[in-house]
Amino acid sequence: MVRVKPVSREWLERARAHHDQLTKPTGSLGFLEELGVRLAAIGQTLRPRLGPGAVVVCAADHGVVAEGVSAYPAEVTAQMLLNFARGGAAINQIARACGAVVRVLDVGVASAVEAPGVVCRKVRPGSGNIAREPAMTPEEARAALEAGMEAAREAVREGATLLAAGDMGIGNTTAAAALSAALLGLPAEAVTGRGTGVDEAGYARKLGAVRAALARAEARLGGFSRAEPLSILAELGGLEIAAAAGVFLAGAEAGLPLVTDGFPVTAGALVAVRMVPEVRDYLFAGHRSLEPGHAHQLEALGLRPILELDMRLGEGTGAVLSFPVLRAAAEVVSGMATFAEAGVSGREG
């Protein structure tokens, strides 16, 4: 499907050795140094530069909303796509501030959305109710995956050097919880949060829906441990989660630094890594959200979040907000003088 070249261990070592020769005490820039080393290794250059960024906001509806799992009605998904198109959403403001283009991809919104800037690659009008039926067929999951891949490739063709995925879909933290529990071997309560801010009764319904979905899908698949990631995605995921996985697959194939957002998008990243493990080499965690399952996802991926701002909006907001930090990390590697170049005495011993 895609071929992803692993990031060279030799380049990681070379970039780290170069960073240690820059005019600063070793490690004094903390995690920023590790970010810069990884960016240099991904680009195979000691002068990494990050230009324009892009975020693909993947959108779809979810049949599980019928179980009362969200504080907002399903029609909000379509309404928010119009808001994105008009430039009125949080992601539009953050992208403007952080040098990123917003690309909106409809892979499964229940109603028709026609607006400039919204790319329609609708696979079906919303996923099935995962508490009672599969989210989609494997063929539909692959179609949504391929829609995300094409959106990423288009962003690369138009000059993106840094790529993130975002999400919009009422009910998608329920799907992300079920999918993450299945992929990570965790109980429903470990990964199920309050999403849009449901009350106690709503949370009980949401947890019940995740448990029901897991029991149903595990029985259909004969267990999760040996099931193909695409099959698990089709049973429990969402069309926009599949598209986000596609963004990461195609972005890694193109050799770009890739930034995860919150809980649903990182579920897509998990799927991408399960399908092609080398994708992990290109991933950066933009932030850690308040959703309890997000920490488990990042731990499984071995990713440390760049930001922790108690965000839980989605849309790609936390991912894009980290773009300036990544650009700064690249500029440090590219622009700082070494001790020898600056004529500064280095550390002795």
- For residues 193 and 293, the answer to whether their CB atoms sit within 8 Å is yes
* DSSP secondary structure string for all residues of 63-122: GGGGGS--SS-TTHHHHHHHHHHHT-SHHHHHHHHHTEEEEEEEEE-SS----TTEEE--
The rounded distance, in Å, linking the Cα atoms of 326 and 56 is: 18
Residue 273 has φ and ψ, to the nearest 5°, of: -70, -35
Q: How many Cβ atoms are within 10 Å of 25's Cβ, its own excluded?
A: 9
Known catalytic membership, residue 228: no
Locate all alpha helices (DSSP H) within the chain, ordered by sequence: 9-20, 31-43, 76-86, 90-98, 138-157, 172-184, 188-191, 200-221, 229-236, 239-253, 263-275, 292-301, 317-321, 323-335, 339-342
The rounded distance, in Å, linking the Cα atoms of 87 and 81 is: 10
> Which of 108, 126, 139 lies closest to 230 in space, CA to CA?
139
Catalytic one of 315, 331, 341, 348: 315
State which amino acid sits at residue 158. E
- For residues 154 and 103, the answer to whether their CB atoms sit within 8 Å is yes
- Helices 263-275 and 239-253: crossing angle in degrees, nearest 10, is 60
The rounded distance, in Å, linking the Cα atoms of 64 and 237 is: 11
State which amino acid sits at residue 338. T
Task: Give the active site residues.
Answer: 315
